[in-house]
Amino acid sequence: MNMLNMLKKLAAIVLAAAVCASCSFMGQTESSEKVEGQEIIEKSMKKYNEQNSGGYEAYDNTTGEMTERFVYQYDEVGFLIYLSEQYNDGKVYKEYCSGYATYAEEDGVGKKLPKSDDRVVMYTKDYSRNTKTTDAVFGFIASGVENAEREDTEDGGSTLTYTYSPEDAGISVDGGTLDSYVVVYTLDSFETVRQIHQIAKGKNDDGSELIMDYTVKIIYSDGAGEIENPIKVESTEDSSEE
């Protein structure tokens, strides 16, 4: 598996909603029974959906390393500007979109992508959203919750912990089976979700132990900052923005 495919698989693991999109919060009907703390999480999800800039950082807790940093903003006409940096085994894959042109860097080599490349997608806020700018990042699933618990923290915030039945929640993973899935949402003193800790355990198809332990730190509009293109292309290439 090449690095890009590996990183796409990691991104799918980190974004739990991508495992089973039909189980995401947005897919729940209004008549669905709400679990403890759901309205609090829904409020942060709404804030993330409506903001004009933001993103997240994802960490693999089994290694202590960052696996991805994604930040975005919309320009004055609603086109998406974003920078994605993905890390695996000391290697970095970068992708930047100005809203009109897309650049990629792999193994230290940067290039402007042709429009025929499947990575070139012009996203907008109103008509063609990138899922990383939506509440899919929160990975919230209301079904299959076996236990929900809220605890206060010393800094004035709190945590919401959800223990799932993976089967009832519709959660699965390629190449293995899940025995347990736990998600811990950390809230600040204003009840805003600041980070999400996802822990999945089970067995790989070869019988070995399967552990996926990730933390996703949410970036709201006040923390995104200005997004610039860090990718340098060879002088023979056209690096201007279309």
Whole-number percent of the chain with pLDDT over 70: 83
Name 80's bridge partners.
74
- Amino acid of residue 15: L
- Residue ranges per structural domain of the chain: 3-27+37-224
In the prediction, which pLDDT does 32 show? Answer: 58
pLDDT digits (tens, 9 = 90+) for 198-237: 999 999 999 999 998 999 999 998 777 889 999 999 765 5
The torsion of the CA quartet 201, 204, 208, 214, rounded to 10 degrees, works out to -40
- Do residues 59 and 66 touch, judged by C-beta distance below 8 A? yes
pLDDT(184) > 80: yes
Task: Give the global pTM.
Answer: 0.83
Give the residue ranges of DSSP H helices in the chain: 3-14, 16-19, 38-50, 166-169, 221-224
d(CA 124, CA 110): 25
Environment class of residue 195 by beta-carbon count within 10 Å: exposed (0-12), middle (13-18) or buried (19+)? middle
179, pLDDT greater than 80: yes
- Kindly report, residue by residue over 140-168, the tens digit of the pLDDT: 999 999 999 999 999 999 999 999 999 89
Taking the CA of residue 1 as centre, how many other CA atoms within 13 Å lie in the half-sphere pointing to its CB? 9
According to CATH, what is the number of the domain 3-27+37-224? 2.50.20
Burial per residue of 42-53, b for 16 or more beta-carbon CB atoms within 10 angstroms, e otherwise: bebbebbbebeb
Q: Does residue 54 contact residue 212 with C-beta atoms inside 8 Å?
A: no
d(CA 34, CA 131): 24
Read off the pLDDT of residues 29-56 as tens digits, 9 standing for 90 and up.
343 578 999 999 999 999 999 999 999 9
